[in-house]
């Protein structure tokens, strides 16, 4: 018998009421075990507040004003009344619940999901009215509790405190019988990047399902990531023998999939960004010799042959005026890896093998180039290449293993790749990518805007964001405008469930973790005021003298610097007496 949406709404009520990570996982396991395999797939998406994997079109195109119209029509109330209630409650889902739906709890999960798909796909003339009609129709069939969650999902504001990792842990217990299988399941997810599809397969086949996923055209894999070291000699300790040093570019990671004449470019966040970089797609079509392939690289802004800053490149991430900015900010992609070639996955091939295949697959052009590099076992050669790269205006280098263990591991941050940036070489500062989780009201010249941002690192073990620093310097007038615009949709009335903040650091405004900024800091110190690493070290860790560098639109919140990385840096380089 199909699972009713009222049961999903009750499940969401349970999740909303708990704060314990273990209790939340217990509730997830219990509910997913009762679902059919196809319902597992749908419920996984909906529980994350979406309707599909990241790489597909998942935006419903429902703005708050449109949702208000649907609520008013379904509940037969005036716009004035609904707007007044919204101002009081701050949650349109709560408004829909309080106005009372007329449904009789007969909606199924499948019905609601397919309505969302129809809303997403409505296009052309009158599409807004069509979307509102569809949303109104399903609301008329919904009970008050169901209406609350339908509206929250439609607006992308479900916010149950459930992350991808929470679902992966629950899948391990529910469908394989042991949390010990979570690493295998996470490895499969890093390759297939479709949490609903993975959940459905696990529900059908158990742990055997993890063997069926490999790289596929049109479905991006998670990017392999690099570790960092404190001193150049450490690179030789971590990577014995010959090292392949490649230029590190200050751009946006791009994964290109070519399937005949069809080319798609994906971002590090797994979004389809082909439309933003039409010149890269056109050039890649001519430069790639293979019929089918998947390539990994970095796209950068270039002017008069010089690589330009990352912030300039981010102006290319837009929906409108693409042709204008294509001319204004031209780009080049530097390719450094190949993951798939003419029907064969290369994930299990060593780096030297992949590099050789990459070179034979690409024809260098004005817009498509192979990453520059050098291979040597001598540290002085690596150091000289680093200095040459920095002089060219690059960030530094990526040192890569050339041994038999040098496989491409999607989503992994291992010692096969090590980054060495110019900031590290200066011997005084580190950069961190942190999620903004709060802000403090400004005073004096900053009255009416934020005075500082509360930023958090990501604790991958418990899928939480733990505060690490308060950033109050480095902002320009333009930064204030951009940050306000980016943070407004993420505002929360209460502390988000995925965020951990000590009482001494409570901000004036909370934000759902959604915006990542790069922060430069002088040192890491013990701090009772911050939550980062508190479970491990018994005291929190904080970043001293933080300075805002830039917004990282190319990174999602779970791409933030991890608590594990911070602890490692603290132990190696920054260990100070407690203050």
Question: Tell me, what CATH number does 246's domain have?
Answer: 3.30.470.30
Distance of CA 548 to the CA centre of its chain: 20
Q: Give the domain-ending residue among 424, 446, 464.
A: 424
* Mean pLDDT, residues 495-502: 94
Among residues 73, 137, 63, the alpha carbon closest in space to that of 103 is found at 137
Judgement on whether residues 448 and 420 belong to the same structural domain of the protein: no
Q: Rounded to 5 degrees, what angle do the CA atoms 112, 114, 119 make?
A: 95
pLDDT of 235 strictly over 60: yes
Judgement on whether residues 385 and 441 belong to the same structural domain of the protein: no
pTM of the predicted model as reported, rounded to 2 decimal places? 0.90
- Does residue 140 lie within any of the structural domains? no
Contact at 8 Å (CB) between 95 and 89?
A: yes
Judgement on whether residues 488 and 402 belong to the same structural domain of the protein: no
Structural domains in the chain (count): 2
- Can you tell me whether residue 221 is helix, strand or coil? coil
* Mean pLDDT, residues 498-510: 96
Judgement on whether residues 362 and 504 belong to the same structural domain of the protein: no
- Does residue 341 lie within any of the structural domains? yes
Please write the tens of the pLDDT for every residue from 327-337.
Answer: 999 999 999 99
Q: Give the domain-ending residue among 370, 391, 424.
A: 424
Contact at 8 Å (CB) between 44 and 199?
A: yes
Catalytic residue among 6, 165, 248, 355: 248
Instruction: Give CA–CA dist 290/449, Å, rounded.
Output: 52
- Does residue 206 lie within any of the structural domains? no
Judgement on whether residues 377 and 480 belong to the same structural domain of the protein: no
Contact at 8 Å (CB) between 332 and 293?
A: no
- Does residue 286 lie within any of the structural domains? yes
Judgement on whether residues 413 and 485 belong to the same structural domain of the protein: no
Judgement on whether residues 409 and 445 belong to the same structural domain of the protein: no
Residue 332: φ, ψ to 5°: -135, 145
Question: Tell me, what CATH number does 464's domain have?
Answer: 2.40.50.140
Judgement on whether residues 291 and 330 belong to the same structural domain of the protein: yes
Residues β-bridged to residue 302: 307
- Do the bridges between strand 413-421 and strand 225-228 make them parallel or antiparallel, or are there none, so unpaired? parallel
Judgement on whether residues 406 and 457 belong to the same structural domain of the protein: no
- Does residue 110 lie within any of the structural domains? no
- Does residue 92 lie within any of the structural domains? no
Judgement on whether residues 419 and 446 belong to the same structural domain of the protein: no
Please write the tens of the pLDDT for every residue from 264-284.
Answer: 999 999 999 999 999 999 999
User: What is the enclosing helix (H) or strand (E) of 321?
Assistant: none
Distance of CA 40 to the CA centre of its chain: 22
Instruction: Give CA–CA dist 100/102, Å, rounded.
Output: 7
Please write the tens of the pLDDT for every residue from 541-563.
Answer: 999 999 999 999 999 999 999 99
- Does residue 211 lie within any of the structural domains? no
pLDDT of 502 strictly over 90: yes
User: What is the enclosing helix (H) or strand (E) of 544?
Assistant: strand 540-544
- Does residue 234 lie within any of the structural domains? yes
Judgement on whether residues 497 and 512 belong to the same structural domain of the protein: yes
pLDDT of 430 strictly over 90: no
Q: What is the DSSP string of 70-88?
A: HHHHHHT--HHHHHHHHHH
Contact at 8 Å (CB) between 290 and 337?
A: no
Among residues 146, 195, 138, the alpha carbon closest in space to that of 166 is found at 195
pLDDT at 429: 66
pLDDT at 575: 45
Helices (H), 420-571: 422-425, 477-487, 534-537, 563-569
Domain span at 313? 225-424
Q: Give the domain-ending residue among 393, 424, 455.
A: 424
Per the annotation, the verdict on 248 as an active-site residue is: yes
Q: How far apart are the first and last CA of the chain?
A: 61
pLDDT at 318: 84
User: What is the enclosing helix (H) or strand (E) of 67?
Assistant: helix 64-75
pLDDT of 11 strictly over 80: yes
Judgement on whether residues 447 and 537 belong to the same structural domain of the protein: yes
Instruction: Give CA–CA dist 75/66, Å, rounded.
Output: 14
């Amino acid at each position: 018998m199909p699972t009713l949406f009222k049961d999903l709404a009750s499940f969401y009520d349970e999740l909303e009421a708990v704060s314990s990570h273990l209790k939340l996982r217990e509730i997830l396991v219990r509910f997913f075990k009762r679902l059919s395999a196809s319902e597992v797939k749908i419920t996984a998406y909906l529980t994350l507040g979406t309707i599909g994997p990241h790489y597909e079109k998942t935006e419903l195109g429902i703005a708050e004003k449109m949702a208000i119209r649907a609520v008013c029509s379904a509940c037969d109330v005036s716009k004035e009344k609904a707007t007044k209630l919204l101002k009081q409650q701050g949650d349109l889902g709560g408004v829909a619940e309080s106005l009372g739906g007329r449904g009789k709890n007969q909606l199924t999960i499948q019905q609601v999901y397919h309505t969302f798909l129809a809303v997403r796909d409505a296009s052309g003339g009158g599409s807004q009215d069509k979307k509102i009609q569809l949303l109104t129709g399903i609301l008329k069939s919904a009970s008050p509790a169901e209406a609350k969650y339908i509206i929250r999902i439609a607006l992308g504001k479900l916010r149950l405190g459930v992350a991808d990792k929470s679902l992966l842990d629950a899948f391990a217990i529910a469908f394989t019988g042991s949390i010990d299988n979570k690493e295998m399941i996470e490895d499969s997810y890093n390759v297939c990047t479709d949490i609903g599809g993975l959940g459905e397969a696990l529900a059908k086949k158990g742990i055997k399902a993890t063997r069926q996923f490999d790289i596929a055209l049109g479905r991006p894999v998670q990017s392999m990531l690099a570790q960092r070291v404190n001193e150049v000699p450490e690179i030789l300790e971590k990577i014995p023998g010959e090292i392949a040093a490649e230029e590190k570019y200050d751009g946006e990671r791009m994964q290109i999939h070519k399937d005949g004449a069809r080319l798609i470019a994906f971002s590090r966040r797994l979004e389809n960004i082909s439309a933003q970089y039409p010149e890269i797609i056109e050039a890649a079509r001519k430069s790639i010799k293979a019929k089918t392939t998947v390539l990994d690289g970095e796209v950068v802004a270039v002017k008069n042959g010089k690589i330009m800053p990352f912030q300039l490149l981010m102006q290319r991430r837009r929906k409108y005026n693409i042709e204008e900015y294509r001319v204004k900010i031209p780009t080049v992609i530097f390719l450094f890896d190949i993951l798939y070639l003419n029907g064969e996955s290369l994930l299990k091939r060593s780096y030297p093998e992949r590099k050789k295949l990459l070179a034979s697959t690409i024809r260098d052009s004005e817009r498509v180039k192979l990453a520059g590099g050098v291979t040597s076992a001598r540290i002085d050669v690596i150091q000289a290449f680093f200095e040459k790269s920095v002089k060219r205006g690059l960030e530094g280098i990526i040192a890569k293993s050339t041994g038999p263990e040098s496989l491409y591991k999607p989503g992994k941050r291992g010692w096969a790749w090590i980054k060495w940036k110019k900031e590290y070489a200066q011997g005084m500062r580190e950069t961190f990518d942190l999620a903004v989780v709060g802000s403090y009201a400004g005073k004096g010249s900053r009255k009416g805007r934020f005075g500082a941002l509360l930023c958090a690192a990501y604790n991958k073990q418990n899928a939480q964001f733990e505060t690490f620093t308060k950033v109050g310097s480095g902002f320009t007038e333009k930064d204030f405008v951009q940050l306000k615009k980016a943070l407004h949709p993420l505002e929360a009335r209460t502390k988000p469930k995925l965020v951990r903040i000590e009482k001494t650091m409570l901000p004036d405004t909370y934000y759902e973790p959604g915006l990542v900024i790069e922060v430069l800091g002088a040192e890491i110190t013990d701090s009772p005021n911050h939550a980062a690493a508190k479970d491990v070290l018994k005291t929190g860790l904080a970043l001293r003298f933080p300075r805002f560098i830039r917004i990282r639109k190319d990174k999602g919140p779970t791409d933030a610097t991890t608590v594990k990385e911070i602890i490692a840096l603290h132990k190696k380089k920054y260990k100070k007496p407690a203050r």
